[in-house]
């Protein structure tokens, strides 16, 4: 068994491995497929930059496809005797140790999604990393929905259940499910304590005027009112005697803080109409907390001792620590990760997903153009693939771009060997003369050639550059010579059954309709082997020339969702 050490991945190694697997692919399928070789190389060299290795692999595949039959067989046998599976040796990626955790102490952690849209790949990163830590150290994992905005970030009906479904599919075990909107009363009590202790105040200043004073490290007039007057105004807020936009509650902080955004930040506001919130128990409340108030209160109440969050929350943590300091609460230990800025050509951000759904009229949040977990699931990606990609990224604080080629290479390992099916988008009939009787096995189907004249279906596109007089091979079948060719039909003569290095084409003896929803949201319609009807829904198959796909519906119409190349 050959082992390959990968200290830095050089192009010579890439070329050597690409050649080996191009030989294997060409011998077994009569033509080396670029996508298959790239997938294998990427699986062996996961750190390789795709843009650098593609040109190298392309040249290798082109070279191998020109090799004559005898040399191809000799090379294949040579590699076959040595063994195919290569293993790369690299430093195992591990998550940072939690050295602060005392012996016997367990983690209590939480995922805190805002239920305003479906879970996407960026959300899944901290959720899966937290799950790995809980598995390693033991403890409790709480799913807590951050739903304390009934005006702008209004929770969507049904999204909480969708998150729970995604957690289950991803293999993340949660021990409790909480909603922050169930805790409004607690937040209001904490605010009142802070006001009574002169650590917070009700501010009536207009935003521009207040901001000007704060930037000059000057207190506004509202800040200096005594606690009695502050409580009086607070009660008016609670009774809805004061209206939305007239005032906010601010936490008193250091007005000389070097960061102006940390000075007297707001922690509660009035909402005139809270009835848009799906939690009907909250409709009686007209004062709602900010994220930076609700989060540390719940973390304290739930005894959270460890969290993982994106770097965009560093500023929020500073504010939340200020609140914790007022009550002598211990803030959870925190690890940060960078932002995933791109996942192939899929739309990642929640706001962009909403815009696309509104502009394009998308009715489903599992559309293959979206980087939602539901979309990955629909396309046929395995939950193990999602987890592996995230673990490969780890807790890197740099921004990350994920190539779907690498994603696909990992998914192939978990999918296994799928059944192959031809895909013919624009069919044309070919008449084959002088056939010799025989039997061939194509994708598990025995096809008999029992008469001198046979008719098959081939793809017009594949014949675009094939000339009269040229010899080609029907994939996994036989060799023919093109005798006549026009826009409406093709005639050819049978030559032999033996494997050759001639150019191969897809073909069908019988056909059934198939429709494939591609990653760009477009549908392609064509024909494939009727054997596809025997495959179950949710099965992953491989369409020659297209790539991996998941069978979504297989009744009168076979409908598939493209996964990856």
Q: Average pLDDT in the 221-225 region?
A: 95
* pLDDT at res. 92: 52
Question: Going by CATH, does the domain composed of 98-341 fall within 3.40.50.620?
Answer: yes
Which tens digits make up the pLDDT trace of 142-151?
999 999 999 9
What pLDDT band is residue 404 in, cutting at 50, 70 and 90?
confident
- Give CA–CA dist 427/489, Å, rounded: 10
Q: Average pLDDT in the 206-215 region?
A: 93
Of the listed ranges 221-235, 350-364, 384-398, the least confidently predicted one is 350-364
* pLDDT at res. 10: 67
Q: Average pLDDT in the 163-167 region?
A: 97
- Give CA–CA dist 354/363, Å, rounded: 11
CB neighbour list of residue 490: distance below 8 Å, 6 or more residues apart: 428, 429, 430, 431, 458, 463, 482, 484
- Give CA–CA dist 396/401, Å, rounded: 12
Q: What are phi and psi of 465, to 5 degrees?
A: -105, 15
Instruction: With CA atoms as reference, report the closest residue to 157 among 147, 172, 171.
Output: 147
* pLDDT at res. 52: 76
CB neighbour list of residue 412: distance below 8 Å, 6 or more residues apart: 39, 43, 548
The CA-based angle 332-337-341, given to 5 degrees, is 145
Same fold, 342-415 and 510-564: no
Domain residue extents for the chain: 3-89, 98-341, 342-415, 426-508, 510-564
* pLDDT at res. 400: 87
* Among the four given CATH numbers 2.40.240.100, 3.40.1160.10, 3.40.50.720, 3.30.70.360, the one describing domain 510-564: 2.40.240.100
* pLDDT at res. 90: 44
* pLDDT at res. 34: 87
Q: Average pLDDT in the 498-526 region?
A: 92
The CA-based angle 487-490-492, given to 5 degrees, is 160
Q: 151: exposed, middle or buried (C-beta count within 10 Å: 0-12, 13-18, 19+)?
A: middle
* Among the four given CATH numbers 4.10.780.10, 3.40.50.300, 1.10.1160.10, 3.40.50.620, the one describing domain 342-415: 1.10.1160.10
What pLDDT band is residue 292 in, cutting at 50, 70 and 90?
very high
- Name the E strands within 239-347: 248-251, 266-270, 287-289, 306-310, 333-337, 340-343
Instruction: Give alpha helix (H) positions in 170-266.
Output: 184-196, 207-215, 227-238
Residue 306 in 3-state DSSP? Answer: strand
What pLDDT band is residue 86 in, cutting at 50, 70 and 90?
low
Q: Average pLDDT in the 524-538 region?
A: 94
* pLDDT at res. 7: 37
Q: Average pLDDT in the 329-344 region?
A: 93
Q: 225: exposed, middle or buried (C-beta count within 10 Å: 0-12, 13-18, 19+)?
A: middle
* pLDDT at res. 26: 86
* pLDDT at res. 516: 97
- Give CA–CA dist 252/269, Å, rounded: 16
Q: Read off the DSSP letter of residue 426.
A: S
Q: 426-508: what CATH class?
A: mainly beta
Q: Average pLDDT in the 306-310 region?
A: 96
Q: Average pLDDT in the 534-549 region?
A: 93
Positive or negative torsion for Cα 413, 418, 424, 425: negative
The CA-to-CA distance between both ends of the chain, in Å, stands at: 28
Q: Average pLDDT in the 372-398 region?
A: 94
CB neighbour list of residue 62: distance below 8 Å, 6 or more residues apart: none
Which tens digits make up the pLDDT trace of 457-504?
999 988 888 999 999 999 889 999 999 999 888 999 999 998 888 888
What pLDDT band is residue 351 in, cutting at 50, 70 and 90?
confident
What pLDDT band is residue 357 in, cutting at 50, 70 and 90?
confident
* pLDDT at res. 91: 47
Which tens digits make up the pLDDT trace of 243-275?
999 999 999 999 999 999 999 999 999 999 999
* pLDDT at res. 104: 87
Q: Please provide the average confidence, as pLDDT, over all residues in the chain.
A: 90
- Give CA–CA dist 347/357, Å, rounded: 11
- Give CA–CA dist 519/560, Å, rounded: 11
Q: Average pLDDT in the 421-430 region?
A: 93
Place of tokens 């759904």: 357
């Amino acid at each position: 068994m050959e082992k390959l050490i990968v200290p830095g991945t050089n192009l010579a190694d890439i070329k050597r491995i690409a050649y080996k697997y191009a030989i294997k692919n060409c011998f077994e399928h009569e033509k080396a497929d670029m996508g298959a070789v790239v997938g294998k190389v990427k699986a062996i060299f996961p750190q390789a930059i795709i843009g650098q290795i593609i040109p190298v692999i392309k040249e290798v595949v082109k070279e191998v496809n020109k090799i004559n039959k005898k040399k191809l067989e000799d090379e294949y046998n040579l590699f076959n005797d040595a063994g195919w599976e290569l293993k790369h040796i690299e430093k195992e990626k591990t998550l940072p140790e939690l050295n602060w955790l005392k012996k016997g102490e367990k983690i209590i952690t939480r995922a805190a999604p805002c239920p305003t849209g479906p879970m996407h790949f960026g959300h899944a990163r901290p959720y899966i990393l937290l799950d790995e830590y809980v598995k390693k150290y033991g403890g409790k994992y709480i799913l807590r929905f951050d739903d304390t905005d009934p005006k702008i970030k209004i929770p969507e009906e049904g999204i909480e259940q969708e998150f729970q479904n995604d957690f289950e599919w991803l293999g993340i075990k949660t021990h409790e499910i909480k909603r922050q909107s169930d805790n409004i009363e607690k937040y209001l009590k904490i605010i009142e304590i802070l006001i009574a202790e002169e650590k917070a105040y009700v501010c009536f200043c207009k935003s521009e005027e207040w901001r000007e004073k704060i930037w000059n490290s000057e207190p506004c007039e509202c800040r200096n009112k005594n606690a009695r007057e502050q409580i009086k105004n607070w009660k008016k807020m609670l009774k809805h005697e004061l209206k939305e936009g007239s005032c906010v509650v601010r936490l008193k902080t250091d007005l000389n803080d070097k960061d102006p955004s940390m000075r007297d930040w707001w922690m509660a506001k009035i909402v005139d109409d809270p009835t848009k919130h799906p939690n009907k128990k909250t409709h009686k409340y007209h004062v709602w907390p900010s994220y930076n108030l609700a989060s540390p209160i719940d973390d304290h109440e739930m005894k959270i001792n460890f969290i993982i969050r994106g770097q965009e929350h560093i500023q929020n943590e500073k504010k939340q620590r200020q609140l914790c300091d007022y009550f002598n609460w211990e803030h959870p230990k925190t690890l940060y990760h960078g932002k995933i800025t791109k996942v192939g050509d899929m739309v990642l951000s929640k706001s962009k997903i909403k815009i696309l759904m509104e502009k394009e009229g998308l009715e489903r949040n599992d559309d293959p153009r979206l980087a939602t977990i539901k979309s990955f699931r629909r396309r046929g990606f395995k939950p193990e693939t999602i987890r592996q990609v995230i673990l490969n990224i780890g807790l890197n604080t740099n921004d990350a771009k994920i190539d779907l080629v690498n994603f696909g290479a990992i998914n192939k390992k978990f999918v296994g060997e799928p059944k192959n099916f031809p895909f013919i988008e624009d069919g044309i009939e070919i008449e084959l003369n002088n056939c010799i009787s025989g039997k061939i096995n194509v994708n598990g189907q025995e096809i008999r050639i029992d008469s001198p004249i046979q008719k098959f279906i081939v793809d017009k596109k594949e014949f675009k550059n094939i000339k009269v007089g040229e010899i080609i091979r029907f994939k996994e079948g036989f060799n023919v010579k093109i005798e006549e060719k026009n826009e409406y039909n093709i005639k050819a003569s049978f030559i032999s059954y033996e494997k050759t290095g001639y150019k191969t084409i897809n073909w069908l003896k019988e056909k059934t309709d198939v429709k494939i929803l591609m990653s760009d949201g477009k549908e392609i319609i064509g024909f494939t082997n009727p054997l596809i009807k025997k495959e179950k829904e949710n099965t992953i198959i491989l369409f020659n020339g297209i790539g991996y796909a998941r069978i979504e519906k297989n009744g009168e119409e076979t409908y598939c969702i493209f996964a990856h190349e």
